[in-house]
């Protein structure tokens, strides 16, 4: 057993040592915005190295009474290294000068809240998502990273980080909402037959499904709260051509689905926009989706996973979550990143042919400017 443990730890040591050489070799190409993340990665690599070295020292003691402890430590550090090697290293190895645009927005975004200002950020290439832990990796499709129009979708992903930073309070609010919808779905007449059992099972499933759904709806609200109309335009444009699945999901696939039906998210966003007093913007958002739904012959049905009677309590819960997490509120000042992103969408809507040249110029100016948090 000592031989097996020595082999695995020696192999781990070689792998980690290789990374300790690779990471500094790539440091010369890093943008300033990625430096805090790089510093974290180097420290993490050193920590893993020291853990393996300690395992090897313990193995050399040849004490059988600590054998199980060494095995456990070796398994733990192996898992840590594999995750680090698989996910956390790649943002450094793939870095390129064009990352500055996204990273500058993300650093500004993290600096906007005391709960996130010390969390390093990194960028990688996949569908929009986030690792909402410390440090945070944001994912964006490669082509979208080079322009302004879809950067507001980062604000939704940032919402997941805010939820994580305030998880205890957010989960309390979520559970309260789940209790509310459970009560709202309670039948008026209690029966004791197979149909009643089926309905009760469905009610429990709906309540459980809302644990994930309310977080997505909260993140949509964060996106709008920070980005204003630019978030609405980016959200709608990016998702409205996803096909039938964006408008309807079969009832057998709704149970424990990670995201609400996108059309429902649009409805809830539009309601939030109206509650903020902008009926025209809400009508525009909802109207585009309704036209597509009508053309496709969609009949809107959420199979009791959403009912209109949920709406007041749902929006109140989201309001309470926004108060708890305190994201930066929308400001359309010309020299702010949010102001820039809203100008970009206005320019695109007004003259899409002239937009690319305009975008290139303003990105160049933006990268030269110093940013301040409102």
pLDDT in tens, 214-262: 999 999 999 999 999 999 999 999 999 999 999 999 999 999 999 999 9
Which of 55, 73, 94 marks a domain boundary?
94
Asked if residue 185 and residue 45 are part of one domain, the reply reads no
pLDDT score, position 189? 65
Q: Which long-range contacts (CB under 8 A, 24 or more apart) does 42-50 make?
A: 44/84, 44/88, 45/16, 45/19, 45/20, 45/84, 46/20, 48/12, 48/16, 48/77, 48/80, 48/81, 48/84, 49/13, 49/16, 49/17, 49/20
What are the structure tokens assigned to 116, written together?
């996130």
Any domain includes 139: no
Helices vs. strands in the chain: H and E counts, helices first: 15, 3
Decide if pLDDT at 159 tops 70: yes
Asked if residue 363 and residue 215 are part of one domain, the reply reads yes
Residue 83 to residues 44, 48, 194, Cα–Cα distance (Å) = 12, 12, 46
pLDDT digits (tens, 9 = 90+) for 262-291: 999 999 999 999 999 999 999 999 999 999
C-alpha–C-alpha distance, residues 326 and 323, integer Å: 5
Between the ranges 1-5, 168-172, 184-188, where is the mean pLDDT highest?
168-172
Is residue 157 a contact partner of residue 130, using CB atoms and an 8 Å limit?
yes
Asked if residue 324 and residue 222 are part of one domain, the reply reads yes
Count of structural domains, the chain: 2
For residue 318, give its domain range: 148-368
Which of 94, 124, 140 marks a domain boundary?
94
pLDDT score, position 225? 96
Q: What band does 372 get if pLDDT is binned at 50, 70 and 90? A: low
For the entire predicted model, the pTM comes to 0.94
Decide if pLDDT at 337 tops 60: yes
Is residue 209 a contact partner of residue 230, using CB atoms and an 8 Å limit?
no
Asked if residue 184 and residue 70 are part of one domain, the reply reads no
Decide if pLDDT at 193 tops 80: no
pLDDT score, position 374? 45
Asked if residue 75 and residue 204 are part of one domain, the reply reads no
Q: What band does 334 get if pLDDT is binned at 50, 70 and 90? A: low
C-alpha–C-alpha distance, residues 305 and 184, integer Å: 12
Asked if residue 179 and residue 67 are part of one domain, the reply reads no
- Mean pLDDT estimate for the chain: 94
Asked if residue 153 and residue 46 are part of one domain, the reply reads no
Percent of the chain with pLDDT over 90: 88
């Amino acid at each position: 057993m000592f031989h097996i443990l020595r082999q695995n730890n020696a192999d781990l040591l070689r792998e980690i040592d290789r990374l300790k050489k690779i990471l500094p070799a790539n440091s010369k190409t890093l943008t300033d915005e990625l430096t805090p993340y790089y510093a974290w990665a180097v420290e993490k690599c050193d920590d893993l190295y020291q853990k393996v070295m300690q395992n090897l020292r313990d193995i050399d003691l040849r004490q059988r009474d600590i054998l199980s402890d060494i095995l456990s430590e070796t398994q733990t550090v192996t898992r840590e290294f594999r995750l680090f090697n698989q996910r956390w290293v790649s943002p450094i190895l793939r870095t390129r000068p064009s990352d500055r645009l996204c990273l500058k927005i993300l650093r500004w975004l993290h600096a906007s809240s005391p709960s996130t200002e010390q969390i390093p950020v990194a960028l990688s290439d996949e569908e929009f998502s986030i690792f909402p832990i410390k440090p945070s990796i944001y994912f964006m499709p490669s082509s979208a990273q080079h322009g302004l129009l879809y950067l507001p979708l980062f604000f939704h992903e940032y919402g997941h980080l805010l939820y994580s930073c305030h998880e205890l309070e957010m989960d309390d609010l979520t559970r309260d909402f789940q209790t509310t919808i459970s009560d709202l779905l309670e039948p008026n007449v209690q029966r004791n037959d197979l149909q009643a059992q089926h309905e009760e099972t469905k009610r429990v499933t709906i309540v459980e499904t809302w644990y994930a759904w309310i977080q997505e709806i909260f993140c949509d609200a964060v996106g709008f709260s920070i980005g204003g109309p630019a978030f609405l335009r980016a959200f709608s444009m990016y998702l409205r051509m996803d096909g039938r699945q964006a408008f309807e999901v079969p009832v057998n696939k709704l149970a424990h689905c990670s995201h609400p039906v996108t059309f429902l998210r649009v409805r809830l966003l539009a309601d939030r926009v109206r509650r903020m007093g902008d009926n025209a913007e809400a009508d525009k958002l909802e109207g585009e989706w309704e036209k597509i739904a009508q053309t496709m012959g969609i009949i809107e049905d959420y199979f009791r996973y959403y009912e209109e009677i949920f709406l007041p309590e749902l929006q109140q819960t989201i309001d309470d979550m926004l108060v708890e997490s305190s994201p930066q509120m929308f400001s359309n000042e010309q020299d702010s990143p949010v102001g820039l992103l809203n100008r970009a969408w206005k320019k695109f809507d007004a003259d899409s042919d002239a937009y690319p040249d305009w975008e290139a110029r303003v990105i160049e100016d933006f990268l030269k400017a110093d940013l301040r948090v409102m």
